[in-house]
Structure 1
Amino acid sequence: MKSDITIIGAGILGTSLGYFLSHVTDKKVLVLEQAPEVAFHTSSRNTGKVHAPFLYDPQKKRLFAKAAALGFEMWETYAKQKSLPFKKDGVLEVSLDEQGTKRLEKYLSWGEQNGLKKDEMTFLDSSEVSRQEPEVHCQKAIFCTKDASVDFGKFTKSLMEDAKQSGASFLLNTRSEKIQDKKEFLEIKTNSGTIQTDHIINAAGGMSIDIAHAMGTAQDLTDIHFRGEYWQADKIYSNLTRVSVYSVPKHPEYPFLDPHWIVRHDGRCEVGPNAVPVFSPYGYNFTENIKEFPSKIVEMLSSGAAKMLFDSKFLSLATSEFLSSVSKNAMINRVREFLPKVIPSKFHTRGTAGVRASVIDSSGKFVPDAVIKEGTKSTHILNYNSPGATGALPFAVYVIEQMRQKGIIKIQNTGCGPWDYGNVLEFLNAN
């Protein structure tokens, strides 16, 4: 098979890239996915939230913040067009101490810088929170109306069908096993045949670093995988709160999130996610992690991640996350800090776990923003995690524009279904 552009990975970002490329170029676009369907992993194994951009530092996480800000409107428009669930319910971000309250004050500033209007964010004291959500106990909170609950798996599947209507092709159950530069083209050997392509976009999520390394790119970076787990609440808690409740993370410099109280678009309530270090992008179970443990440890010890392995604070937090994985009480009790009415014994079923990857640089620090690396006939998207689903549509346009500026593609059309390529770019480039 031959293609002009081959996208590896049909998560929500890879599918968004296929959608926009099939609209704005006349290139033959092919999307490869080793799973049996699109959005099989992280893209559908998440909180299902279209996040408000007040959580993201407009300097350190500029790309994520800008993409999330526009992503809300784009997904809302798409949901209306396709009759997909889009529950605009808002979110409550709570602080439990003075340190958390100072963080909330910073969030207010970030939200304004990222384009949120003042009437979309309300700073509440404990009594005001009690009037709005009687079961929530906290010191202060931000209530943001610009937050929604959706099913990103359904969004991605619908987007795939639209991309196919525009000429993109999708190969599922197709795993990229070896990529070779044949000078005139790149050759991708898969489990079901060989593909010749002029350019590869690596949007493989948890496998993206491995693919980049195999192609000689981003050798100074590595990643650590984290499994996010959930517990489903008993139906007696269905009306405990109207909105999802997040607590300010105690250690924002690390990718460990204090579990949230999540109200999904269909009314189901869950506690999660934690962030348990694992050794595989598919590390949902013990067997997979043991299999990948030796090679992952060797990779980490030969990179900047080695410093993380000997960081006492990281190890302490990782131990705490592991405890929340093996002990339901430990995980539910975190949420009881602000929602004391929940009782661990009322949680009987685990939710669907997902695995995300966080990139570490050569100095042993977590990279805060998304990373785009250019290789030989290739574009590699690394560290694309939360709020990745929220910002997938505008971020895909951003990646395509980077390719256009490098002469890899030409833009033939700007109309992209309900969106305009130029308008999206204008927003992303605005100060």
Structure 2
Amino acid sequence: MKTRIAIIGAGVVGASIARVLSQYDGLEVHLIERNADAGMGVSKANTGIIHPGHEDDPGKYPLRAKLCVQGNRLWYQWTKELRIPAKWPGELMVALEEEDLKVAEYYLELAQRNGVPGVRLVERGELLRLEPNANPNAAGALWAPTAGVMSSPMAAVALTENAVENGVKFHPETEVRGIKVEKGEVKGVETNGGFIEADIVINAAGLYADRISAMAGIDHFTIRPRKGEYYIFDDDAGPKVRRIVHQTPTPTTKGVYVITEMNDGVMIGPTAEDLPKDAKDDTSTTREGLEFVWKMAKKLVKGLPPKNRVIRTFAGLRPEPPDGRWIIEAYDDPWGFINVAGIRSPGLTAAPAIAHYVVRELIQGKLEVKLTKKSHWNPYRNAFWFKALPREKQAELIKRNPAYGRVICMCRTITEGDIVDIIHRMKRMGVKTITLDGVKLRSGVMSGTCQGSYCRVRIANIIARETGIPLWKVTLKGEGTEYGIGDIKVLLRGERDEE
């Protein structure tokens, strides 16, 4: 008889757990997500940094410190297997003043205690050789060579896609409304789509993990949202930075970062604003927040791109648990319930290690579930980008399928063939509603210079054609976010809604 496991939340943590569990025989794994697609919550809006692991005190946060370092190492492998764009420029924690060097020395000590390789203090001259755009008046920096940057919006969808290919059942647009417990044991999950039987329920619901936990009778903590605001500049706007650059941290934040993200655009941010516990959907930006980001970034580097090259400002939310401590625990009452809650930064970095910890220490260890590795498990995601192929391969592909010769997103050079392939992969993954944001998460369309003003309607038309729905029923991110507002049938030159 199979052990049934329900994971609530298809963000990067929940999807990582699903992927690790997909390696084992004898399991029936369900990945439940209230949004239309994976990665549409906390996971889609952050800095995308793979932290080296030298910023957590192992005496105060031992689990966080250990799993961050392990996660950093695992992402080197996972990004390759899942074809998630990533690079490893290293990180400079800049000491702007002489007194900040003492802070940097403290983090050097943490790096040594946490086993982070290659971390060392550098004086001003070496700082400027490593990063010519750094503030020339800075006192020095802490150099951490293992830090990386990844396409974080793509992470959760890539993980989920690979997990489904290996047998996991994905349930999008499925809202959890209750946890069924009988005689002190978990029996399953009540949802808007019916009851899902489960012997083990794993709560990885991000900002809403406290609500899910309370459904199982565990209500001793509250998750508060912490907002971070950002600027993104056009891909060709400079000056740029070669490394990940940030100031020495404060008690509440790792500081404002200046990075060159995966598409070569400069990104600066975030703020760290604690919001009321009922503001878990507040992703608005503020003048005060963005002015703060700009002011702090200008202290870190000698040159930023001009503000007229900003293509977007945005805000992301992070789940902040009580006293900053991750809540990763399996319970005796109810037996079978596991919290993976309050996974604040460096949660993205630690996600692969969190997944292995949950499986090894909690499911196999505390709950004593015997797991056997599958003889055939596929760690690779079958995805490619037309623009990354050699010219001769591109020519062959266009000959077989002319859709690859039609560029739809000029900013990111994404073709119609790429978009159709994405839509078909979404369908195979179990996505019920093909959304514009779902295509964006997987490809980066609509995130370049024009922010979708050129390609969005073209992508919407492709979605309409491939799914058989009218254009005005295509949504940005699910029901209630229809792209067409009012009478836009003129876009179809006479075609009508047949319903």
- What TM-score do you get using the length of structure 2 for normalisation? 0.69
Residue pair 2:238, 2:305 contacting (<8 A) in 1 also: no
1:130 to 113, 128, 131: 128
SS of structure 2 residue aligned to 1:116: coil
Residue pair 1:179, 1:215 contacting (<8 A) in 2 also: yes
Once the two structures are superposed, residues 379-400 of structure 1 have per-residue CA deviations (whole angstroms, 9 ceiling, x without a partner) of 1112212111111112111112
The residue that corresponds to 1:395 in the other structure is 354
CA gap of 1:160–1:234, structure 2 versus 1, over 3 A, is closer
The residue that corresponds to 1:341 in the other structure is 303
Offset of residue 201 of structure 1? 0.6
The residue that corresponds to 1:291 in the other structure is none
Measured in 1, the distance between the counterparts of 2:261 and 2:283 equals 22
CA gap of 1:194–1:418, structure 2 versus 1, over 3 A, is closer
2:274 to 277, 284, 288: 277
State the structure with bigger RCO (CA 8 A, min sep 6), 1 or 2.
1
* Structure 2: gaps of 5 or more residues: 381-499
Measured in 2, the distance between the counterparts of 1:50 and 1:331 equals 21
The residue that corresponds to 2:193 in the other structure is 192
The residue that corresponds to 2:7 in the other structure is 7
The residue that corresponds to 1:332 in the other structure is 294
CA gap of 1:333–1:159, structure 2 versus 1, over 3 A, is same
Measured in 1, the distance between the counterparts of 2:190 and 2:326 equals 31
CA gap of 1:196–1:132, structure 2 versus 1, over 3 A, is closer
The residue that corresponds to 2:262 in the other structure is 265
The residue that corresponds to 1:295 in the other structure is none
Q: AA paired with 1:40?
A: M
Once the two structures are superposed, residues 344-381 of structure 1 have per-residue CA deviations (whole angstroms, 9 ceiling, x without a partner) of 73453434422111112xxxxx2344442524131111
The residue that corresponds to 1:152 in the other structure is 152
Q: AA paired with 1:276?
A: E
Q: AA paired with 1:203?
A: A
Q: AA paired with 1:175?
A: E
Alignment of 1:81-230 (within 5 A): 81-117=81-117, 120-137=118-135, 138-183=138-183, 186-219=187-220, 221-230=221-230
Measured in 2, the distance between the counterparts of 1:189 and 1:345 equals 49
Measured in 1, the distance between the counterparts of 2:157 and 2:378 equals 16
Offset of residue 151 of structure 1? 1.1
SS of structure 2 residue aligned to 1:63: helix
Residue pair 2:179, 2:186 contacting (<8 A) in 1 also: no
Once the two structures are superposed, residues 140-182 of structure 1 have per-residue CA deviations (whole angstroms, 9 ceiling, x without a partner) of 2012210111113323222222211222111001110122324
* Structure 1: gaps of 5 or more residues: 287-321, 361-365, 420-431
1:367 aligns with 2:366: no
Q: AA paired with 1:124?
A: V
Q: AA paired with 1:372?
A: E
SS of structure 1 residue aligned to 2:223: strand
Q: Pick which of 276-285 and 386-395 moved more.
A: 276-285
CA gap of 1:274–1:344, structure 2 versus 1, over 3 A, is farther
The residue that corresponds to 1:411 in the other structure is 371
Identity rate of aligned residues, in percent? 26
SS of structure 2 residue aligned to 1:342: coil
SS of structure 2 residue aligned to 1:20: helix
Residue pair 1:25, 1:409 contacting (<8 A) in 2 also: no
Alignment of 1:228-267 (within 5 A): 228-234=228-234, 237-249=237-249, 251-252=250-251, 254=252, 256-267=253-264
Residue pair 2:121, 2:141 contacting (<8 A) in 1 also: yes
SS of structure 1 residue aligned to 2:108: helix
The residue that corresponds to 1:293 in the other structure is none
SS of structure 1 residue aligned to 2:23: helix
Measured in 2, the distance between the counterparts of 1:338 and 1:391 equals 26
SS of structure 2 residue aligned to 1:4: strand
Q: Pick which of 204-213 and 274-283 moved more.
A: 274-283
Once the two structures are superposed, residues 285-305 of structure 1 have per-residue CA deviations (whole angstroms, 9 ceiling, x without a partner) of 49xxxxxxxxxxxxxxxxxxx
CA gap of 1:418–1:112, structure 2 versus 1, over 3 A, is farther
Offset of residue 86 of structure 1? 2.0
Measured in 2, the distance between the counterparts of 1:409 and 1:354 equals 37
Once the two structures are superposed, residues 109-146 of structure 1 have per-residue CA deviations (whole angstroms, 9 ceiling, x without a partner) of 211222223xx223112232223323312112012210
Larger Rg over CA atoms: 2
CA gap of 1:5–1:338, structure 2 versus 1, over 3 A, is same
Measured in 2, the distance between the counterparts of 1:214 and 1:99 equals 48
Please give the root-mean-square deviation of Cα atoms over the aligned residues, in Å: 2.5
- What TM-score do you get using the length of structure 1 for normalisation? 0.79
- Counting matched residue pairs gives 370
Residue pair 1:92, 1:143 contacting (<8 A) in 2 also: yes
Measured in 2, the distance between the counterparts of 1:64 and 1:126 equals 31
